[in-house]
Amino acid sequence: MKKDKLRERVLVELEKLISLSCKNPNGSKKYEELHIALLKKYYNATNVTIDYHRHRIKMEVIEDDSLYDPKTVNTYLPTFYTNLLFNNLCKFLISCVEKDNKSIGFYTQLLNSFRKSNNRLEVV
């Protein structure tokens, strides 16, 4: 029961943060990093760039996940170039949010890092 509430809270907080970040995506480098982290997680991608003006996302998606080994340096992984267009960035990013346990843990770390960076900005 508590895990379900915690999971729901993380998802709600993440959606709020995504909505806030989409209001002015060019306003903060941290918001762009959030968007890129979500896309990298969902698509298992590298070299993600977002062109907010043209509503375009460019990235390289790893073809075969079984070849990726986090314990070694991966100098060559087969990837394919992808060029995505979006109408509404906020809806697109929210659709990339996964609800499995591994993803919830990733989103929790993302939210915590965002809170820490915001606290530092307020103090300075």
Mean pLDDT, the chain, integer: 85
For the cut 50, the answer to whether the pLDDT of residue 122 exceeds it is no
For the cut 70, the answer to whether the pLDDT of residue 118 exceeds it is no
Please report whether residue 45 resides in a domain.
yes
Q: What percent of the chain has pLDDT over 90?
A: 55
33-47 pLDDT, tens digit each: 999 999 999 998 889
Number of domains in the chain: 1
Average pLDDT for 67-76: 69
Please report whether residue 116 resides in a domain.
no
Please report whether residue 86 resides in a domain.
yes
Q: What is the DSSP string of the chain?
A: -HHHHHHHHHHHHHHHHHHHHHHSGGG-HHHHHHHHHHHHHHHTEEEEEEETTTTEEEEEEES-GGG--TTS--S---EEEEEEE-S-HHHHHHHT---SHHHHHHHHHHHHHHHHHHHHHHH-
Q: Range of 99's domain? A: 25-104
